[in-house]
């Protein structure tokens, strides 16, 4: 190995922390919780070296409130947690969506409900990521399945958050978070790092929620001379509370349009052997690794199987899954829960393909053999 090689043995949580730093994260607030704690440990050491700030908060509610405040102050900010802490963060995730404050929340999923099995992997927070906070609002959630993807998708989470002024969730699971793989991280300058759009007008002319420059308004930082109001109430373009329908309805439409009009940029997936597939595995996170092995073994046995690996869970790529359902007899959906993303697959398939679930929520991973058995039944 050459001296300048960037290859190293790295844990998923470590790669996530490295991705945050590479994306420009300069503020982290969090509360230790298994199995995400290594993210905080790395950033506690590394952030001060690059002029950033690390704060261990008293709980998860305070943690997300702190990163929202830091983001308003102009810093790229992140927190990390697991299922119980993620539940506590939901109200402020909704606030960040309503106030359109960029921030990144990493949820390393473990078995629940309640304390469950805190050291065992699960994928039980998929629906919580989408619907955990009350009311109607869009959300972006990404799911890595490799250590390198923990780096890449954390960078991507920051980029999407800053580009669309929205909270973004990285839905890892404990298997990926604690997996160690040989990875080669990209050199600085070889990947995209997005900065938020700042106002191009004087402070007196600035409206923090105006769509004069498109569905994503520029965001000024507190302390730079721009004084504006931020609230969780429905607000006008100046940020002040309003009950006028002619202001509320356009605000809701714009909040959704900034995501819906950019699905081509936001949604991401990978395909394997789908061109001639009769049956397809639809999976994400660590379970997609087992899905890939099962598909390869099925191919070796003469079964025309393929894999759709979802990197973006929300917004769900319903159009592509619908297209896949028109080509395949069956869609096999393995996941470490009792059926969550399968609901979306069923909805998108519209009865054009049978959806076969492969589930477990007991803290054990889904083995390739379990998925292969479902493929053989076809």
Question: Using CA atoms, how far apart are residues 107 and 310, in angstroms rounded to an integer?
Answer: 17
Residue 2 has pLDDT above 50, yes or no: no
What is the torsional sign of CA 111, 57, 44, 149? positive
Domains and CATH numbers, the chain: 7-184 (3.40.50.970), 271-376 (3.40.50.920)
Helix axes 12-23, 147-164, angle to 10 degrees: 30
Q: How far is CA 79 from the centre of its chain?
A: 12
> Please, which pLDDT band fits residue 212 given cuts at 50, 70 and 90?
confident
Other Cβ atoms closer than 10 A to 26: 19
Whole-number Å distance between alpha carbons of 240 and 233: 8
Per-residue pLDDT tens digits for 298-352: 999 999 999 999 999 999 999 999 999 999 999 999 999 999 999 999 999 999 9
Helices (H), the chain: 12-23, 37-46, 60-72, 83-99, 126-131, 147-164, 174-178, 245-260, 263-266, 285-300, 318-327, 341-349, 368-376
CB 313 within 8 A of CB 284: yes
pLDDT tens for each residue of 14-26 = 999 999 999 999 9
Alpha-carbon distance of 137 to 101, in angstroms, equals 13
Summarised one tens digit per residue, pLDDT across range 81-94 is 999 999 999 999 99
- Pair 12, 178: CB distance under 8 Å: yes
């Amino acid at each position: 190995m050459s001296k300048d090689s960037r290859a190293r043995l790295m844990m998923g949580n470590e790669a996530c922390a490295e991705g945050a730093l590479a994306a420009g994260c300069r503020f982290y607030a969090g509360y230790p919780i298994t199995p995400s704690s290594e993210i905080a440990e790395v950033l506690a050491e590394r952030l001060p070296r690059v002029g950033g700030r690390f704060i261990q908060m008293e709980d998860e509610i305070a943690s997300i409130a702190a990163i929202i405040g830091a983001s308003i102050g102009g810093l790229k900010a992140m927190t990390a947690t697991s299922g119980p802490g993620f539940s506590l963060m939901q109200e402020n995730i909704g606030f960040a969506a309503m106030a359109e404050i960029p921030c990144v929340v990493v949820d390393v999923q473990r078995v629940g409900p309640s304390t469950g099995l805190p050291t065992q992997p699960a994928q039980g927070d998929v629906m919580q990521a989408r619907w955990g906070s009350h009311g109607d609002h869009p959300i972006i959630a990404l799911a890595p399945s490799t250590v390198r993807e923990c780096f890449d998708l954390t960078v991507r989470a920051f980029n999407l958050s800053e580009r669309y002024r929205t909270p973004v969730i990285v839905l890892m699971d404990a298997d990926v978070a604690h997996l160690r793989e040989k990875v080669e991280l990209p050199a600085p300058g070889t990947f995209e790092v997005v900065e938020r759009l700042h106002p191009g007008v004087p402070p007196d002319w600035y409206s923090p929620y105006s769509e004069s420059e498109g569905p994503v308004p520029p965001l000024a930082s507190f302390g730079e001379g721009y004084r504006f109001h931020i609230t969780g109430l429905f607000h006008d373009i100046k940020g002040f509370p309003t009950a006028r329908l002619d202001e509320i309805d356009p605000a809701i439409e714009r909040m959704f349009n900034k995501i819906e009009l950019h699905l081509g940029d936001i949604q991401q997936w990978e395909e394997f052997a789908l061109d001639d597939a009769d049956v397809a595995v639809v999976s994400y996170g660590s379970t997609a690794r087992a899905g890939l092995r099962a598909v390869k073994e099925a191919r070796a046995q003469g079964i025309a199987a393929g894999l759709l690996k979802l990197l973006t869970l929300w917004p769900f790529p319903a159009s592509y899954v619908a297209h896949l359902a028109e080509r395949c007899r069956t869609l096999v959906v393995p996941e470490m829960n009792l059926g969550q993303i399968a609901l979306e697959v069923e909805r998108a398939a519209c009865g054009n393909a049978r959806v076969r679930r492969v589930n477990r929520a007991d803290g054990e991973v889904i083995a390739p053999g379990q998925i292969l058995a479902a493929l053989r039944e076809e």
